[in-house]
Structures are given as C-alpha cells and as structure tokens.
Amino acid sequence: MKDQIILGIETSCDETAASIVRNGREIVSNVVASQIESHKRFGGVVPEIASRHHVEQVTIVIEEALKQANMQPSDIDAVAVTEGPGLVGALLIGINAAKAFAFANGLPLVGVHHIAGHIYANQLVEPMQFPLLALVVSGGHTEIVLMRNHGSFELIGETRDDAAGEAYDKVARVLKLPYPGGPHIDRLAHEGGEALVFPRIWLEQDSYDFSFSGLKSSVINYMHNAEQRGEVVNPQAVAAGFQASVVEVLTGKTLRAAREFKVKHVIAAGGVSANKGLRKSLKDTFSKEGITFTVPPLFLCTDNAAMIAAAGSVMFEKGHKSSMSMNGKPGMPL
C-alpha cells in the first residue's frame, strides 16, 4: 500500500512548527522555531509579537521540513494545520500558510484541534489501545479525556480556573524564575531538601475537575507572609511543595478515572507532561495498576507540528476535509 504523507503546521502559540509524518506514526522531519527568547522579558506570550514571528518564520519552517525530509510538495497527500484553540492572530498565520500550500499544490486541507494533536503525539511513540484515557496538561489546558476509538474524545474533567502549566508559570514568576517557569520549578523540586506542604484541591468527591488557583494563591500568600516577616524563602522548598501537590492531584484523579472507565491505556500529553515528577508518578502508579502508560519524549510534549500531522493523519483517513474558508477558532471545543 502507498505510504500516507502528511505535512503538519502548528502556530497556535509561541512555536512556529512544520513537520512531515509518514502513515501517522513515523516522523520524517520535525522543525520548530521557538520564540521563547522574545517573550521572556515580558514574562509571558505577547500575542502581537507571536503573530509577527509566525509571519517571518512559517514559510521558512515549511521549506525546511520538506528539505529535511528530502521531499517535494508533490510527495504530500494532505496538509494538516492547527485550527484552534489558541491565539487567533497566531492561528490565522498557520492556517493561511496551510491554505496557500494546499491550494498551490492541489492538496486537501485538514483542520486539527491542538489538544487532539497533543494526544496524538503518543501515537508517534506507541499505538493507542482503546478505551484510552488521556491526561492533557499544558499552558492552556488541564483535561482528562476518554477515547473509545480513534478521533473520538469525551471530556471527563477539566480545570475550573488555571491550567496546570499556567499555575506553574505564575508560581515561577513569584519565585523570580524565567518564563516559561515549569521546567525551572521541576529542576528546583528535584534538587532534594525539604518540601513545604501546600493544600491538595480535590473538589467534590466524584469530580474529575481540577482547580489550581487556590494552590497558586496559597504559594503566593506564603511568599508574601514570609517577606513581611523578613524571613528568607527557600525556593527549592516552595517548588518541591508546589510540585508535590500538583502531581498528587493529577495522578490521583487520573487513576480513579482509569479504574472507573476500565481503560487499557493511559497517556499523558501537553507541555506539563514533560515534568519529571509527574512522569515518574504516573509511570509508577500505572505500572502497579497493570495498565499501559505512555508519555511522549520531551520534544513531543511541548508544541510541535509532528503531533498535528499525526492527528491529521487519522482525520484524513476518516475522510475529514476542511474547506478553504476555514477560520481560526480560539475557543474550539474538542
């Protein structure tokens, strides 16, 4: 059978990315132009700056993805692009580049949900077994998603306030760590030493929803009180305590959902799934439980276009095609 070759494009936030994936599972090329350095001094992503960088980079990364794959546009079967959610100006640049490429080369266009992309990053590592439970933890999302089949997503629980990554970035900011703060807190939390105890927010007993704003406030209050008392704060103890609370709640709820829905496979996805503490906790928990657990390698946890091509591959296979009037959907539901 002929190979299926998908070009993926991702520009929903602060990475301009293009990738070529074969048969939905094999990365042929994967190019990511990160803008983190430009946003760092503002302590977060500035939408206008993000759009400007995407405009400058998008054609370059697409050409580079083709070059690294040693392919011509005629080798491509479909163009998959992030349709939403994300920053609308940023999304539109990827979408317009994808439309232009698809139109110029007579190719079908497939709009992909960014979170479906994060979930399908796992498919580049290990074939999915259903029913499957996905813990999606990124800068904008914290969700537990049940999949009974390819391309079917049931939202079981989600954050009621801050996303896990957002909480990481805000706590990092009060600790005066650079943006994005997640990796810095993770590193500090692993330095060893004491850990402060911060609350675990479980919400109602049967809920799979999350809340991280109370935890974030509790860390900020601790810092504020310590400052007023003239005490020296130990950032390592704060980071370790904060991370322990996040990891325990994320693991606990995912385990309860995995049992309730009798899933065969649990996966973690999104930028926060790069977290060493979370990866270890989930791995240990599900290995004891006898359930397959997978999480992508670090470079596929944060935003990239290989994951968009992998999700687009399944959608294309199922006959899904987007129209040339496709628009960016900042609040697109999964």
Q: Please give the residue ranges that form the binding site for ligand KG4 (CB under 6 A).
A: 13, 138-140, 165, 168-169, 180-183, 186, 270-272, 274-275, 302-303
Which tokens in the block code for residue 162? Answer: 């801050």
Which tokens in the block code for residue 195? Answer: 């850990």
CA atoms within 13 A on the CB side of 331: 0
Q: Which residues pair with 144 in a beta bridge?
A: 135, 157
136 known ligand binder: yes
- The window from 52-60, 177-185, 221-229, 302-310 that contacts Zn ion (CB under 5 A) reads 302-310
Nearer to ligand KG4 among residue 143 and residue 303 (C-beta)? 303
Nearer to ligand KG4 among residue 5 and residue 50 (C-beta)? 50
Which tokens in the block code for residue 288? Answer: 């004891």
169 known ligand binder: yes
Q: Interior CA angle at 300 toward 75 and 215, to 5°?
A: 150
Nearer to Zn ion among residue 110 and residue 308 (C-beta)? 308
CA 25 – CA 124 distance, rounded (Å) = 5
- Selected from 31, 145, 303, 304, the binder of Zn ion by CB under 5 A is 303
Nearer to ligand KG4 among residue 94 and residue 140 (C-beta)? 140
Binding site partner of 182, from Zn ion, ligand KG4, none, Cβ cut-off 5-8 A by kind: ligand KG4
- The window from 38-46, 195-203, 238-246, 298-306 that contacts Zn ion (CB under 5 A) reads 298-306
290 known ligand binder: no
138 known ligand binder: yes
Asked if 132 and 264 touch (Cβ cutoff 8 Å), the reply is yes
Nearer to Zn ion among residue 58 and residue 195 (C-beta)? 58
Asked if 129 and 264 touch (Cβ cutoff 8 Å), the reply is yes
118 known ligand binder: yes
DSSP SS3 for 146: strand
Nearest approach in angstroms of CB 201 to ligand KG4 is 17
CA 325 – CA 102 distance, rounded (Å) = 13
Looking at residue 334, its amino acid is L
Nearer to ligand KG4 among residue 241 and residue 271 (C-beta)? 271
| Residue ranges in the chain assigned as alpha helix (H) | 36-40, 47-69, 88-105, 114-120, 164-174, 182-189, 213-228, 235-260, 276-289, 298-301, 306-317
Binding site partner of 85, from ligand KG4, Zn ion, none, Cβ cut-off 5-8 A by kind: none
137 known ligand binder: yes
Q: Which residues pair with 157 in a beta bridge?
A: 144
149 known ligand binder: no
271 known ligand binder: no
Nearer to ligand KG4 among residue 161 and residue 317 (C-beta)? 161
- Selected from 138, 273, 275, 304, the binder of Zn ion by CB under 5 A is 138
CA 107 – CA 129 distance, rounded (Å) = 31
Binding site partner of 180, from Zn ion, ligand KG4, none, Cβ cut-off 5-8 A by kind: ligand KG4
Binding site partner of 168, from ligand KG4, Zn ion, none, Cβ cut-off 5-8 A by kind: ligand KG4
CA 33 – CA 54 distance, rounded (Å) = 9
Binding site partner of 209, from Zn ion, ligand KG4, none, Cβ cut-off 5-8 A by kind: none
| Distance from the first to the final alpha carbon of the chain | 31
Nearest approach in angstroms of CB 173 to ligand KG4 is 11
Asked if 319 and 88 touch (Cβ cutoff 8 Å), the reply is no
Q: Which residues would be at the binding site for Zn ion (CB under 5 A)? A: 138, 303
Binding-site members for Fe cation are 114, 118, 303
Tell me the binding residues: 114, 118, 136-140, 169, 182, 186, 275, 303
